[in-house]
Amino acid sequence: MEEEVKSLNFIEHIIEEDLSQGYSQEELRFRFPPEPNGYLHIGHASSICLNFGLGLKYNAPVNLRFDDTNPAKEEKEYVEAIKRDVEWLGYRWDSERYASDYFQQLYDWAVELIKMGKAYVDSQTSEEIAEQKGTPTEPGEESPYRSRSVEENLRLFEGMKNGEFEEGAHVLRAKIDMKSSNMLMRDPIMYRVLHKAHHRTNTDWCIYPMYDWTHGESDYIEQVSHSLCTLEFLPHRELYDWFLDQLVSEKKLRPKQREFARRNLSHTVVSKRKLLQLVESGVVSGWDDPRMPTISGLRRRGYTPESIRNFADTIGIAKRDNVVDVSLLEFHVREHLNKIAPRVMGVLNPLKVVITNYEEGKEEWLDAENNPEDDSAGNRKVPFSRELYIEQEDFREEANRKFFRLKLGGEVRLKNGYIIKAESCTKDEDGNVTEVQCTYDPKSKSGSGTEESLRKVKGTLHWVSIPHAIEAEVRLYDRLFTDATPDGYKDKDFMEFVNPASLNKVTGYLEPSLKNAKIGDRFQFQRLGYFNVDLDSTDEKMVFNRTVTLRDTWAKIEQKN
């Protein structure tokens, strides 16, 4: 066996470097740290695959840590949704942690910082503080409260904790450098007063630590070796390190933050605000609408965890801006579904075909292969009768020889069935074909081994027997946005690019074997695409989603003309 040499991404290079410079493999530990204020999306999937993938590669534990320091935005519902999504992707965390587990420790450390003269209580308004902060090009000025005594700071900070003050009355700030070229180092806020119940600590606390004061210290508590985040946190690294400098013990591992560029997917948006806007404006039906780039949306759409993991693996991780084309994601679902999805037949745009020389009232149950890609998939029976549906696009009265499908006087193979010939057709007053009359060759039955059955005809069509067909709602999805980068324009709102035709509900006529399909089951409707049973499906009315179409070279040929 030839070993495939897998190249390393820059994060793995860093880890390999650390390993060769004295880190032991046992010290490696990672974490995935979502804030439970929304649903996970395809961008998070990349981060999840990165962190958990590293865990698998180095046999290192990975924590799932909820960054729950802002009770105004966070809810238990999101915690549950996030856990479900990470599990669905196929990963197991070593331990489930919450930044809120560390509130007491963080408070104690903050007191230490005050005692060291490295933190102070500021009693200005947020406007005043913002004013003094300066701009990226101008230095800030120091707060008049910056030189409060340790005793007063201690007393005020305790008062904050004990609920003696209104929101906004005081904040705790780190005393660093108001002239730093890094805005984050200009005496960043560590704590604010928030009289809000937290989804886990309830009303135990009325002061809450800020992200910067929480994240690195949480990494330190959990002894995370490599704390990976997106590039916009790069300026935070200096502060991350400064906070760690104040309390790291030499005997313990010191976490390091490293940053990678978030992955952008074309034809969609991923910011929580924009996703929420799509939900609230009714453009989509909810966070798990199959058109949404959320993990729950992709799951409902019929994507497999494997396909998402392979996608994440293929696009890799780097530091430059990027927009990954959705077609790559689609490639990965097709690749996986091609291997696992049973083939069935269903007609979405029906045109009636009558086999005039087929006995009325007769039915035959034909053998059909479940999956040519999987020898163990076996066979099933599909009913054949005198009256069938084929797709409207599969018949033309006349066409050139590039058109392999049914035309008057022409022959075509009905998949798993007989070779038929179109003899005539009837039309309505508008000239639309409403029925095609065909004859069949009784000796051409698929698999019968006769000379006639072995005849080569250019086209093969899927079909369904009208009296046996089951009706179902089929939801056909297109891209949610008509532009590759809907939120990439300064002068245009992303909502302007919403694709008005992103959802098309049709009635499908499906082979009867589908009657037993369960919610979530995935199929290939032959020649049409991959579909799964939607959770709106009931015993009375089945509902299918089209996950993705098949590759369609015919459509490309058509487009050129």
Q: Which of residues 64-103 bind RNA (CB under 7 A)?
A: 67, 69-70, 72-73
Q: Figure out which of the listed residues 77, 204, 245, 325 binds RNA, where binding follows CB under 7 A.
A: 325
- Total chain residues near RNA (CB under 7 A): 90
Shortest CB 135 distance to RNA, Å: 4
Given 118, 262, 352, 380, which residue is catalytic? 262
Residues in a beta bridge with 509 = 347, 471
Structure tokens at 289: 């609408």
Shortest CB 73 distance to RNA, Å: 6
User: Residues 105-144 vs RNA: string with x where CB under 7 A?
Assistant: -------------------xxx--xx--x-xxx-------
Given 35, 335, 387, 452, which residue is catalytic? 35
Q: Figure out which of the listed residues 9, 277, 437, 499 binds RNA, where binding follows CB under 7 A.
A: 9
Alpha carbons 415 and 444: distance in angstroms, whole number: 11
Alpha carbons 554 and 459: distance in angstroms, whole number: 12
Shortest CB 175 distance to RNA, Å: 16
User: Residues 500-539 vs RNA: string with x where CB under 7 A?
Assistant: ------------------------x-xx------------
- Residue 35 annotated to the active site: yes
| DSSP sequence for 438-478 | EEE-GGG-TTS--TTTT---S-EE--EEGGG-EEEEEEEE-
* Contacts of RNA in 430-449 (CB under 7 A): 445-447
- Residue 89 corresponds to which amino acid? L
* Contacts of RNA in 155-174 (CB under 7 A): 167-168, 171
Q: Figure out which of the listed residues 19, 178, 189, 466 binds RNA, where binding follows CB under 7 A.
A: 189
Shortest CB 536 distance to RNA, Å: 26
Closest to RNA by CB, 215 vs 386, is: 215
C-alpha torsion sign, points 192, 197, 202, 203: positive
CB 339 within 8 A of CB 373: yes
Closest to RNA by CB, 122 vs 534, is: 122
- Residue 334 annotated to the active site: no
The terminus-to-terminus CA distance of the chain in angstroms comes to 47
* Contacts of RNA in 209-228 (CB under 7 A): 210-211, 215
**Number of Cβ within a 10 Å radius of residue 423:** 14
Shortest CB 262 distance to RNA, Å: 10
User: CA separation (Å) from 527 to 260, 344, 351?
Assistant: 40, 10, 16
Residue 509 exposure: Cα atoms within 13 Å on the Cβ side: 19
Piece of the chain touching RNA by CB under 7 A; list 146-154, 181-189, 509-517, 535-543: 181-189
Alpha carbons 109 and 505: distance in angstroms, whole number: 58
Q: Figure out which of the listed residues 327, 356, 379, 504 binds RNA, where binding follows CB under 7 A.
A: 327
Alpha carbons 44 and 262: distance in angstroms, whole number: 9
Residue 319 near RNA by CB under 7 A: yes
Given 133, 272, 380, 421, which residue is catalytic? 272
Alpha carbons 49 and 443: distance in angstroms, whole number: 54
* Contacts of RNA in 376-395 (CB under 7 A): none
Opening angle at CA 197, ends 194 and 199, nearest 5: 125
Piece of the chain touching RNA by CB under 7 A; list 89-97, 142-150, 283-291, 324-332: 324-332
Alpha carbons 206 and 491: distance in angstroms, whole number: 41
Q: Is 295 exposed, middle or buried (0-12, 13-18, 19+ CB in 10 A)?
A: buried
- Residue 217 annotated to the active site: no
Residue 7 near RNA by CB under 7 A: yes
Closest to RNA by CB, 12 vs 473, is: 12
Closest to RNA by CB, 503 vs 510, is: 510
* Contacts of RNA in 227-246 (CB under 7 A): 231-236
| DSSP sequence for 326-356 | HHHHHHHHHHHHHHHPPEE-EESSEEEEEET
Structure tokens at 431: 């000239």
Alpha carbons 495 and 77: distance in angstroms, whole number: 27
Shortest CB 539 distance to RNA, Å: 28
Piece of the chain touching RNA by CB under 7 A; list 75-83, 300-308, 408-416, 534-542: 408-416
Alpha helices in 58-102 (DSSP H): 76-88
Alpha carbons 335 and 281: distance in angstroms, whole number: 34
* Contacts of RNA in 299-318 (CB under 7 A): 314-318
Backbone angles phi, psi at 17, to 5 degrees: -60, -45
Piece of the chain touching RNA by CB under 7 A; list 100-108, 300-308, 430-438, 452-460: 452-460
User: Residues 254-293 vs RNA: string with x where CB under 7 A?
Assistant: -------x--------------------------------
Residue 178 exposure: Cα atoms within 13 Å on the Cβ side: 14
**Number of Cβ within a 10 Å radius of residue 198:** 21
Q: Figure out which of the listed residues 18, 177, 335, 435 binds RNA, where binding follows CB under 7 A.
A: 335
Closest to RNA by CB, 264 vs 545, is: 264
Alpha carbons 39 and 29: distance in angstroms, whole number: 25
Residue 193 near RNA by CB under 7 A: yes
Question: So which residues are the catalytic ones?
Answer: 35, 262, 272
